[in-house]
Every structure is written in structure tokens, then in C-alpha cells.
Chains A and B, each alone.
Chain A
Amino acid sequence: MQAFARLMERLVFTPSRNGKLRLIADYAAHTPDPDRGWALAALTDGLAFPTAKAGMIRGLAQERLGPELFALSYDFVGDLAETVSLMWPGDGAEGPAPALSEVVEQLQAAGRSEVPGLLARWLDGLDAGGRFALLKLITGGLRVGVSARLAKTALADWSGTPVAEIEEVWHGLRPPYADLFAWLEGRGPRPDIEAGAVFRPVMLAHPLEDDEIGSFDISAYAAEWKWDGIRVQLTARGSDRRIYSRTGDEVTQAFPEIAEAMAFDAVLDGELLVVRDGVVAPFNHLQQRLNRKRVTAKMLADHPAWVRLYDLLIDGGDDVRALPFDARRARLEAWFDRVRPANMDLSPLVAFSGWDGLADLRGGSREAAIEGLMLKRRDSAYVAGRPKGPWYKWKRGPLTLDTVLMYAQRGHGKRSSYYSDYTFGAWRHDLDGAALVPVGKAYFGFTDEELQQLDRWVRNHTTNRFGPVREVTPGLVLEVAFDSVHRSTRHKSGLAMRFPRIHRIRWDKPVAEADRVETLEAMIVE
């Protein structure tokens, strides 16, 4: 447990990606099985302990430390695991520190009534850092700034195995990953993943940059629409049917009508959409389906899910990923004719002639559900990750709005000495006159030099401070670009932008000439 605690502690305070990779790799190299496997599971969100609840920890702390002192401390610290870890008496000298594997295995086997006793014993045997790691582990959500991808990359760096190969087997593995580590250390075979409906890492596209337009032979590419939904992988083997997001998170539960339609043995790549009478609904209709834990009959009827298929990865026993795109497409069409699954269709290929024709297509694609074009090299295999060249996405031009800077917040890591996160607003006119309403937040889209200028401007125009946030006088216009805007109850303005970024800093423009909220509202696609 102490090694895991030290890892947590250092990850919490290490801002750099490289630093984190080094720490995880070092931990994997020096920690035996099964501890390192459980740690890996914790880092990749693969552990859950339904019998250990936050309320139980709170009860234990109140009992040991007194309800008043606990309440005052919790109020000050604000995080349950941290509060209890800091105020629990002793420095671990009370008893032997438990091993990580002991904690995980005993907790998985324990009944609800046994957990408090186990927990108290472990807390007595650990110092504050160990207690923090223990409590974070069992309540889930380590929040140490490590994604599953980063953890796998660290394993790849450490073992010299390409991260794509680790991704390929990853979703067929279970903690504590003894077979994975044996393989990575050359002591065992590559884990077998053929038996179940296992997620296969997806292929992603590069954005087509302005200076690349016209720079290569476009006739080598097929084009199709880029649909504004959620990229999914449908994986069905026997009765095992699963819907994965592009990161491998399972979303099957939320879309039972799709799972029901997956009466086949295949792995498919497609876009999850809400479709009514053949018409694709805007993205936030799909969002409403995603946010539901339980799917009601009304939801199913009002927001019917649909998958528009892009690609075929595995057809029965045949892994076709190595085939060129054209050949996979032919198999996909043949497969679709044969199987005819409900609630699905094929994403059509779009005919075009040359770059000019393609640009016209893109410019004319104002349909709400279309984000732009996908370009796929006809001879390219389906490979995991985001290789440069075979696939491009060419989004249609972004929407823009002239906004006024309202608040700035300190950034993180290397940017922590800069005010680099900007909240901007648009004008709303009412009986009292004109007022700025915040409409979004952006923290990229500018150069390092522009960041320095913005930082200086913020410091010289501060009117108010709230912790890491500064309020500034309305005096700077930011031209913000975004992909779309939709209604949202979570924002004061009732609007939410997708992918807002700073497009240009309009040092020249008077704030009174910035846009109104109404202008943004007119851009909503219902």
C-alpha cells in the first residue's frame, strides 16, 4: 500500500505528462504482482467496491473523532477521503500496513457489515498518505490526472511494446492483469481475446489543415459525411453484445434498442445518432439519451437511437482490418444486404470530382447533422490510433462570435503563472440597458506570445479577485470560434457552445460592437 500511496502522492503534484509516465513506469517496474495490477486497475477506473460507501467512511470518522471536530474539518478540507486521511490519529505505527492486494481482495470478498471493521484496522496501520490512497481507492475517482490511455502509454514505454498492441488486448483483460504483465515482461504469451465481445481500438482521423488542401492526390480517397453523433463500435459475439464509445467505455445499457438489433457476429464502426423518420436529430437529443441512467419507454419512443455504419472490422471469424478500405467497404455493403439489422443503415459514400468538387460539397453541407466530410484513402488498412495520412476529417467552417472578456483564471501546470482560461460574454439588452452575459469559456486557440499579451492585459484590468479567478473591466473583444451551439440548462445564458476556442484577439474592436446574445441564439440548430 505504501508504494501505491507514494505513487498517488507524486501523481497528484506532478503536472507534466512525461513526469507522470516516468512515475507509473517506475512503479510497474518495481512493484510485484498482483499489487501493480490492482494499481493499474485503479488508475484506469477498473475497480469498484459496492460494499464500501462514502457514508460508511463518514460514520467511521465521526465515531472515532467526534461528530463536531469531524464536521469542522470536513467543512474546511472539502474532500471526504482527504479529511479522514488527515485527521485519523496515528502515523501507521499501530499495526502492519496492509498490502494493496490484501485490501482489494478482502474488500471484494467482504459483506457489508464486515467492511467498517476492516477499514478501521487498515486506517490504523497506515500513515496519512497511505490512508488517503486507501480511501481514494475504495471510493473511486482517484483524480490524479491520469487517463487510462496515459497509464497504458506508461506500460508501453516501460516494456517496449507498442501501445496499440496493449490497446488491442486491453478490453479482453481483467484485473489484476497478471497475464498482461507476464506478456509485457516476455514471460508469457499474448493474452487471448477472441472469446468475447471485446472492444478493438478505433481508427481516428487527422483534421485537414488549410495548407494541406489541394496538396495531395484526392482521387486516391473516398469521401463520406461526418455525422454529428457519437462514434461507436458495435461488437457482437454469440449472445454477448456490446456498444462501446471510441475510448472503449461501454454504453450498451443506454441503448437497448441497438443492442437488441445486434443479432450478428461482427465488429462494426459507426455513428450513434437519434433519427426520426429518417431525419437525424441535433446532437443534444442524443446527449439526453446518454445522460439517462435508466431508459424509459417514453425516451425510447421520443429519442429513437440509430447507428449509421462506417466500417467493418471483423466479420464472423474474419478479421478484415488489414484489408484496404475499398475491400472492407464492399464487404460491409454485402454484409448489410445479408443481415439487414434494424435501427441501422450505411453511411453513404459521396461522389465528387477533384478538390473543387469536394470544397463545394463541404460548403453546401449546411444540414445540422453533418459536421463536415471524412476522407479515407481507398487503399488504407484499419489501424488503431490516429495515423497521419490515411484518414482526414474536413470540418465545415466554424461559427464565430465577437465576445467580450469577462473573467480569467489561472491555468494549470506550465501555465499556472498565467491567466489562461477565459470566460467571455455577449451583450443582452433589456429595460435596464445593456449587460454582459457569460456565454462560454475557452483556454486554447492562441499562441504563447498572445498568451503573454492576454495575461498582461488581465493583470492590468482586474476589478475583482475570487481565488484563482480575476474579473476584468469589459475592454477586450475576443472573436471566438465554435462548432455549434445548443440550448443548455446548465449555463446562465441557456446556451452551450461545442469546442469554443479563441479565434482572434480583436485588440482593435470597441466592446460596444461585440455581438449580442440574440445573434448566438439565432445560430442554434433545434
Chain B
Amino acid sequence: MPVAAPKPSSWIRVEPAGIFVEPGGFHVDPGRAVGWAVVTHGHGDHARPGHDAVLATPETLAIMRARYRGDAGRRQQPLAYGETVRIGEVDVRLMPAGHVLGSAQVVMDYRGSRVVVSGDYKRRPDPTCRPFEPVPCDVFVTEATFGLPVFRHPPAAGEVAKVLESLTLFPERAHVIGAYALGKAQRMIAELRAAGYAEPIFLHGGLVNLCDLYQRHGVDLGPLVPATGAAKADLQGAVVLAPPSAIADRWSRRLPDPVVAMASGWMRVRQRARQRGVELPLIISDHADWDELLATMADVDAPEVWVTHGREEALVIAAASQGRRARALNLVGREEDDAE
């Protein structure tokens, strides 16, 4: 007689540090340094410094080393997509999440019960990372950054076309695009290249290291030039990428009459764009929009959905209307990522 699989809530629980997998003795994306961490991707609210041991994709480990140097984790265990490793009594597999380079869902099997922690993810094509692969499971742990029906990201190509159109309209003005340093900046560049833009792209100093890292991992970003020290004449009509915090600040004043653009899913809401002084809002996101969140729940067809961070409330309602049990995990330390 087959033994019934254990209930997921009996072997995975939420602790102050984050999601703890008891029979494996490890945390997933813990908010502070722990003994054993499985990390989905390199963003700061998921990858913290100082763990004793870290398991992640080789790309994510490289990103953590670039950001945290000697503090990226004492013992680092790389795990390629699709391979399985046993930790304690749990089989752990990393599957592409489509969010940023190296981003992974953590697939965990324990005595016939399967939980997938998706970290952050999106379903749109992204030239800089492997696409999301749905894995059927008993519990799907999802983010809800854009978990409201007002968030529907248009195709990225149309947004990139806005930049190219504006460049022909204002050939004398620099076009400074605010983009998150890990993931968004590289994707923005790659999308511009895909649209046929071959000119050198100028970079704020805060973006250089991660762009190099992407290129070393085989993502072709074309010619990149530091913006610092560039002649004003060269910046006219040029595309400049900078972290979001720099675009409305003193840094951007050195640019010739800049058109201030911002690449973010939040740009869908006009008031947000205007508050930030953005003249050219670009709705480009590395997170799933409302439709993708709903479609993904259906694709993995989990009877139960746990929501980690973002606008959990609406997604819990939507999951219930799909006939799934859903609850918010209320993780601490995942503040709203305003730049995404």
C-alpha cells in the first residue's frame, strides 16, 4: 500500500530568516546569513552575503562574487540547470526562471511531495537569459511584484521602438535610461541591439562590472563605453544607461539636455513615472505581469500556491478563483523593489 506523501507545510516552514526546508536543513533565499542557503538569483533581496554554504547556478555564484567579493559565501556549490543534488533527505534541482542571468526556480522533492520556489520570474523572451520552464508541483511558491490587474507589460520591442523614435526626434539630446544594474540594464542593451541599434552605448560606472560579467558569460552586448569622461558632443543623441537612482540626480546634469527614460514595470502607472520626473517611460520588466502570474499558476497546475512578496492580496484572490488554495507567506526583508 503506497504511503501518502507528506503535506508540504509539514516539511517547509517560514522562519524569520525566510523559507526553511527542514529535512534538507537549508533555507531558500534567506534574508540573513545562515548555515546552508539555496539562492534563486543574484538580486540583493534574494542573495545575501555571509552564508556558510551556498548552492546556486554558476552564473548566480559569479554575480554574488562580483557583488560581495570575499563575503559571497564560505563554501560555494554550483549546480547547473536541470541537474539534481540531494541535500539531507531532499532532492534539489534548479530550473530556469527567465528573470535574469542565472536565475533559477528551486524544485524540491521529498518523499513524493514536490514544492517549487520560483524566486522571481517572467515568461517573456529575454535575450540575456534562459526562458522559464514550468514544472508541475504540489505547491508553487510565487512572487507577486506586479500582482495587480493594472500591470500588463506590453511587448518589449514596442518600448524599444519608442527610444529609437525619440532619438530621431531629438538627435541633439542624450537619452539617459534608468535601468536596474543587474538584469534590466543588460536586457535593455540586448533589446536595443536586437532592434538594430549598433552605436556604442554609454554606461554609468555602476553598471560596468555586471555588463562585463554578462559578456564573459556569452551574452553579446555590443560596444559599451564609460559615460564618465566622455565628451559632451559624443553624448548628444547617444543612449546612456544609468542606475535608476542616478537619472534624476546630479549625475545626469552633466549630460546634454537629457531625455530622461526609465525601464521598469512600474512605468505602466503614469503617476509613478511622473513622480520620478520621467519623460519617456518604458514598460520593460523582468517580473511576470498579472497575466503571466495567472498563466503560470495554471501551467504548473499546483493545487496550492504560496505568495512570497509584492501585492499578495490580489493574487491570492485570483488563485482562489482558479480553484487553488492560496496564502501569503509574509516574508520579512523583501521590501518593494522600486527599480524593478
Contacts and interface: CB of A to CB of B under 8 A. Distances in A.
Contacts of B151: 86
A130 to B, nearest CB: 13
Interface residues of A, number: 26
B250 A72 contact: no
Interface in A400-447: 410, 412, 416-417
Nearest to A416: B277
Contact of B248 (A13, A69, A83, A417): A417
B314 A73 contact: yes
Nearest to B275: A468
Contacts of B216: none
Given A13-B279, A78-B271, A72 B311 contact: yes
Interface in B276-315: 277-281, 311, 313-314
B87 interface: no
Given A13-B278, A417-B250, A467-B275, A72 B148 contact: yes
A13 B273 contact: yes
B275 A69 contact: no
Interface in A1-45: 12-15
Contacts of B317: 66, 68-69, 72
A412 B150 contact: no
B149 interface: yes
A456 to B, nearest CB: 9
Contacts of A86: 149-152, 268-269
A451 B272 CA distance: 25
Contacts of A417: 248-250, 252-253, 277
A508 interface: no
Contacts, number: 68
Given A72-B313, A76-B150, A417-B250, A412 B278 contact: no
Nearest to A90: B152
A13 B280 contact: yes
A12 B274 CA distance: 8
A72 B253 contact: no
B150 A77 contact: yes
Contacts of A410: 248, 277
Interface in B132-178: 148-152
A349 to B, nearest CB: 49
A87 interface: yes
Contact of A14 (B152, B252, B277, B279): B279
A3 B100 CA distance: 36
A13 B150 contact: no
A83 B150 contact: yes
Contacts of A82: 269-271
A132 B148 CA distance: 18
Nearest to B321: A66
Contact of A73 (B148, B253, B271): B148
A68 B271 CA distance: 22
A272 interface: no
A76 B252 CA distance: 30
B148 A76 contact: yes
A453 to B, nearest CB: 13
A80 B311 CA distance: 19
A79 interface: yes
A128 interface: yes
A77 B279 contact: no
B318 interface: yes
A68 B316 CA distance: 11
Contacts of B281: 13
A77 B150 CA distance: 8
B322 to A, nearest CB: 13
Contacts of A467: 275
A77 B271 contact: yes
A142 interface: no
Most B CB within 10 A of own CB, among A14, A72, A83: A72
Nearest to B260: A416
Nearest to A84: B150
Interface string A221-245: 0000000000000000000000000
A76 to B, nearest CB: 6
A65 interface: yes
A15 B248 CA distance: 14
Interface in B197-255: 248-250, 252-253
A132 B273 CA distance: 15
Contacts of A72: 148, 311, 313-314, 317
A13 B278 CA distance: 7
Interface string A68-101: 1100110011110011001100000000000000
A394 to B, nearest CB: 38
B253 A69 contact: no
Contacts of B273: 13
A372 to B, nearest CB: 38
Contact of A79 (B149, B248, B249, B271): B271
B1 to A, nearest CB: 43
Nearest to B148: A73
B271 A69 contact: no
Interface string B251-264: 01100000010000
A466 to B, nearest CB: 12
Nearest to B280: A13
A128 B278 CA distance: 19
Interface string A53-65: 0000000000001
Nearest to B283: A128
B216 to A, nearest CB: 34
Contacts of B278: 13
Contact of B152 (A12, A65, A128, A132): A128
B149 A12 contact: no
Interface string B108-152: 000000000000000000000000000000000000000011111
Contact of A76 (B260, B277, B311, B318): B311
Contact of A416 (B148, B150, B152, B248): B248
Nearest to A415: B277
The 8 closest A-B pairs by CB, nearest first: A416-B277, A86-B150, A87-B149, A87-B150, A72-B314, A73-B150, A73-B148, A417-B248
8 contacts: A13-B279, A65-B149, A66-B317, A69-B317, A72-B148, A73-B148, A76-B148, A76-B150
Given A68-B317, A86-B151, 8 more contacts: A12-B270, A13-B273, A69-B148, A69-B318, A76-B269, A86-B150, A87-B150, A417-B248
